Amino acid sequence: MFDYTIVYNIYISYRYTIMNGEQSRKTMLPLVALLLLVSTTIATTPTITLNNGVLLPAIAAGTWQYKPEIAEQSVNDAFEAGFTHIDTAHDYDNQEGVGKALQGRKRDSFFLTTKVPGCGLQGISKANCAQDSSAAIDANLKQLGLDYVDLLLIHFPPLLGCKVESNCKAIQSQYAALEAALTAKKTRAIGVSNFCISCFECLNKTMKVTPAINQVKYHVGMGSDPGGLKSYCSEQGIHMQAYSPLGDNASALIEGPLLEKIGTAHNKSSVQVALSWIWQNEVPVVTKSTKLQHLKDDIDIFDFKFSADELNELNSQTQPSGSPSFMCKS
């Protein structure tokens, strides 16, 4: 994911200038500092291996609720903070702004996730779900200015969930459109978002490619395996990925005494504790912020580990409560 030629070029330049005297060494000090910063970022941002071998960076910068110009700035800030994974979606209506931030960057230096709306939602008709989804995929690529994305997700199951027969048939056809996009190399991996177990049971009847990701709500207070969904996904070879890592009411979570206590013990903030809990439960996470320092803090979560007692306390929290998907429950 990272362009190692940057590091190599800095190193070669440093070697060259060292050979040309003390003044050159002073000139190169900022570049040496940059090299150290880049090396630290590489070393502290892990990846997970998806079920098709694609490496997914463990933390992503999200763009939900951002207007295009704000999305552009937030993505640029995310890259500056050390992120290599950007998360967006067709119905965020900001992909052109995201695309502007990607312009001029080497394609293998970042990982891009996007989503198509579910059947019957956001311009995707239930009757022609596959066809409309294929058109949305092409629109995504055009808006982003890319030939392919790294991860393509179905954003939601249909309204009323997947136990309704017509809904099940619709998402089966929609998922086939994602499989076709994968075959056409418009994406490197495919998956879903906000899916519950019944939706996977529906997909299992017709799918040819197992989803790589199920992106759902997941935060302290929900337990480490809400509704058995994480265990089910793991058994199927599907990684869960967390959005809304601070819940719907962030202050209720991060101002609680437990997170503050654990944060103090590790010299971390309550937000960093909340994000790290997700990762230490082997779930990659999507965070977001319009503030550069917050993004820098958010990515600084991979250098400490909870004690067994701390992890048990966090896993046992029941507030703030939540459900992995607001579209279906089981």
Residue 134 has pLDDT above 70, yes or no: yes
- Provide the CA 127 distance to its chain's centre, in angstroms: 30
pLDDT for the residue numbered 263: 98
Residue showing tokens 């600084």: 300
Quickly state the pLDDT bin for 287 (edges 50, 70, 90).
Answer: very high
d(CA 302, CA 284): 12
Checking if the pLDDT of 21 tops 70, the result is: no
- Global pTM reads 0.87
* 44-53, 139-148, 233-242, 264-273: segment of lowest average pLDDT: 44-53
Mean pLDDT of the chain: 90
Model confidence at 33, pLDDT cuts 50, 70, 90, reads low
pLDDT-derived band of residue 14, with 50, 70 and 90 as boundaries?
very low
Any idea which of 36-40, 79-83, 109-113 has the lowest mean pLDDT?
36-40
d(CA 226, CA 231): 9
> Does CATH number 3.20.20.100 belong to domain 46-316?
yes
Q: Which of 94-103, 156-165, 281-290 has the lowest mean pLDDT?
A: 156-165
| pLDDT at residue 28, as a whole number | 54
Where residue 187 falls (left for φ over 0; alpha for ψ -120 to 50; beta otherwise) is beta
Q: What are residue 242's DSSP bridge partners? A: 216, 285
Active site annotation includes 92 = yes
Of 29-33, 220-224, 271-275, 296-300, the one with minimum mean pLDDT is 29-33
Over its C-alpha atoms, the chain yields an Rg (Å, rounded) of 21
Q: Which of 66, 92, 175, 243 is catalytic?
A: 92
What residues contact residue 222 under an 8 Å CB cut-off, 6+ apart? 321, 322, 323, 324
pLDDT at 286 over 60: yes
The more confidently predicted of residues 15 and 279 is 279
Interval 169-187: pLDDT, tens: 999 999 999 999 999 999 9
Average pLDDT on 64-76 reads 98
pLDDT tens string 146-155: 999 999 999 9
Q: Report pLDDT for 39.
A: 44
The answer, yes or no, to whether the previous bond of 320 is cis (omega within 30 of 0) is yes
pLDDT at 274 over 90: yes
pLDDT of 18 > 50? The answer is no
Band (45; pLDDT cuts 50, 70, 90): confident
- Band of the pLDDT at 70, cuts 50, 70, 90? very high
Q: Is the pLDDT of residue 12 over 50?
A: no
Q: What is the pLDDT of residues 288-325, one digit of tens each?
A: 999 999 999 999 999 999 999 999 999 999 999 999 99
For residue 8, what pLDDT band results from cuts at 50, 70 and 90? very low
